[in-house]
Structure 1
Amino acid sequence: MRLFECVASFYSNRISVKKRQKFSMKVYLDYTQSELDRQYDQRSLVPDPSPWMTPCVDASSSAKVAFNSHEDISYGDHPDELLDIFLPDGAGPWPLVIFCHGGAWKALSKDEAGFPAIPLVPSGIALAALNFGLAPDVPLDVIVGQVRRAVVHLKSNAAIWNLDPDRFFAAGHSSGAHLASLLAVTNWAALCGAPGLIKGLIAGSGPYDLEPVRLSARNDYLFLDEQTALALSPQSYLSANLPPAIFFWGGGELEEFQRQSRDLADVWASFGPTVERIFLKDFNHFEVGAEFLDPKSEPVRAMIKMILH
């Protein structure tokens, strides 16, 4: 064999070994890189989520017609900083659920996030569906700042919409559950002079610890470093002043999403607040999100009970 062929073969073998090592080494818990990437890829289990997402999208449109709704309310200077409010009939003041949509921080909008109004508004509970920037165009720390800014805007203008600023609750599904959890642990006293502004959390199947997210293929568009992942993980801010919480997830989900829900629920409860865990046997990730639409679902019934009792 010629010399250059031997050299080429040597380096080719080295590259192949490195590739095998990359995908056989454990990078988080007992997961290899390819296994971890799969754990944070919902489509690996559910290639077509439309049977569950389409009814939610349709219901979001219907809610704008069915209820007293106010669209495209600006809460900041950025064009993405908008929200929709859905109000019950009557004078109020109404308790408010602030809903953060999912979409892996890179997809969807408030226009697909009004569906929780279907069970909430007839129960005498207002809904604010938040819009915010999306990755990779908007960094995750900026997105977190946007949803916090939306809450401050809602508090400052509560009288305009007949909202009760003493009964604000945060809710979300998937990446929206991560954002809602951060709202629940935010130091509102420092931000707007309102300690304990969020009175309860309703979180469905969120990625709450961002370290494995950082190590997964999702970081190709999130660009998180270790310090930022820690700073944007809710458990970094847990304290004795946590509000009550409802965590729910499905038995048909990726194991990492089940673990994340179990772990945060356990740590949250260890600080003293009431924590309700709802395990939806055999439900996939998108079925879990669609529970926010069903008035008879266990998560919705628990949410309404938390807010009204």
Structure 2
Amino acid sequence: MLYQVTDWDDAYANGAHIPQAEDFVPLWQDASARFREAHPPEPLGRGHLFRPSRTAKGLMVFIHGGYWMAFGPGTWSHLAAGALAHGWAVAMPAYTLAPKAHISQMVPEVAAAITESAGRLDGPIALTGHSAGGHLAARMVCDDCTLPDAVAARVAACVPISPLADLRPLLRTEMNDTLRLDAAEAASESPALLAPRPGIPVTTWVGGMERPEFVRQARLLANIWAGLGAATDCVIDPGRHHFDVIERLKSPDSPLLARLLRP
């Protein structure tokens, strides 16, 4: 069956294809506020660092999505619950959003926040992020010294969730009026067009009910990086769409969390 995109804005429009999409953000914000009341974080720049009640086994990093244009760490605090239950600390970095910053400026901001949080804790590092945050998570393990070598050496797993691995299609969307990507930046900041650091297992994770472009992008990164020597997998989570696929992070027993916090 031939696959061709004729409407690029619709291809990357998630909410328009999810029932009661408008209800999700208030639910996330409420759950996150309640979570921070129960688990007050320490500041991480403009982001948050949650610590378990005992010495942390390692550091999980969750990078938020929003097409690089919306949200902040405070919307997603509740997603730290699963890793905290396993005794891991959880960092949720903030980064400057478009149009105030280009994606190429967000990448070093996130790397700096990860480096700062890694300096506060010992143990392995597990990287994840959702959508635009999935892109940034993958971008952290590219073989271009985005992360300092000493920090990258501690990364035991990277699980980009619904990642945007190739930014070039976004040049065809209206959102690029805000992102201000040009062809050169789209290429230089696309993980699928870069090489992965050796030795870091990478699993792309995507909902089975997501827009076809997100499934294609998740498969693309896993396939290309496998061809460059990385240990990769692409998991298509049945019955999950773009807004609920991340809910797996809340559950200590979820297969998503197990893949991320691999021993």
Q: Is the 8 A contact 2:207 2:239 kept in 1?
A: yes
Query: What's the secondary structure of 1:249's corresponding residue?
Result: strand
| Corresponding residue number in structure 1 for 2:163 | 206
Size of the alignment, in residue pairs?
260
The match for 1:120 among 83, 88, 97 is: 83
> Could you list the runs of 4 or more consecutive aligned residues of structure 1 that deviate by over 6 angstroms after TM superposition?
none
Question: Separation in 1 of the partners of 2:226 and 2:28?
Answer: 31
C-alpha distance 191-270 of structure 1, shift in aligned 2 (>3 A): closer
C-alpha distance 302-152 of structure 1, shift in aligned 2 (>3 A): closer
| Corresponding residue number in structure 2 for 1:15 | none
Q: Is the 8 A contact 1:68 1:89 kept in 2?
A: no
Matches for 1:4-15 after TM superposition, within 5 Å: none
Q: Is the 8 A contact 1:96 1:128 kept in 2?
A: yes
C-alpha distance 202-143 of structure 1, shift in aligned 2 (>3 A): same
Query: Alpha-carbon deviation of 1:236?
Result: 2.7
Larger deviation, residues 115-124 vs 233-242? 233-242
Gaps of 5+ in 2: none
Q: Is the 8 A contact 1:87 1:126 kept in 2?
A: yes
C-alpha distance 243-203 of structure 1, shift in aligned 2 (>3 A): same
The match for 1:90 among 36, 41, 54 is: 54
Deviation per CA, 1:120-139, whole angstroms, max 9, x where unpaired? 11101110011111111222
Question: Separation in 1 of the partners of 2:131 and 2:197?
Answer: 25
Question: Separation in 2 of the partners of 1:48 and 1:231?
Answer: 36
The match for 1:192 among 135, 148, 159 is: 148
C-alpha distance 87-259 of structure 1, shift in aligned 2 (>3 A): same
User: How high is the sequence identity, in percent, across the aligned residues?
Assistant: 27
Q: Is the 8 A contact 1:56 1:290 kept in 2?
A: no
Q: Is the 8 A contact 2:55 2:87 kept in 1?
A: no
Is residue 65 of structure 1 aligned with residue 28 of structure 2?
no
Is residue 264 of structure 1 aligned with residue 228 of structure 2?
no
Query: Alpha-carbon deviation of 1:270?
Result: 2.8
Question: Separation in 2 of the partners of 1:140 and 1:124?
Answer: 32
Query: What's the secondary structure of 1:99's corresponding residue?
Result: strand
C-alpha distance 239-171 of structure 1, shift in aligned 2 (>3 A): closer
Q: Is the 8 A contact 1:121 1:127 kept in 2?
A: yes
Cα RMSD of the aligned pairs, angstroms, is: 2.2
Paired residue type of 2:10: R
Deviation per CA, 1:81-125, whole angstroms, max 9, x where unpaired? x22111111234x31011110111111101112222111111011
- Taking structure 2 as the reference length, the TM-score comes to 0.89
Q: Say which structure, 1 or 2, has more relative contact order (CA 8 Å, 6+ apart).
A: 2
Q: Is the 8 A contact 2:166 2:190 kept in 1?
A: yes
Gaps of 5+ in 1: 1-28, 75-81
Structure of larger gyration radius? 1
Question: Separation in 2 of the partners of 1:52 and 1:295?
Answer: 22
Q: Is the 8 A contact 2:163 2:204 kept in 1?
A: no
Q: Which structure carries more helix by proportion?
A: 1
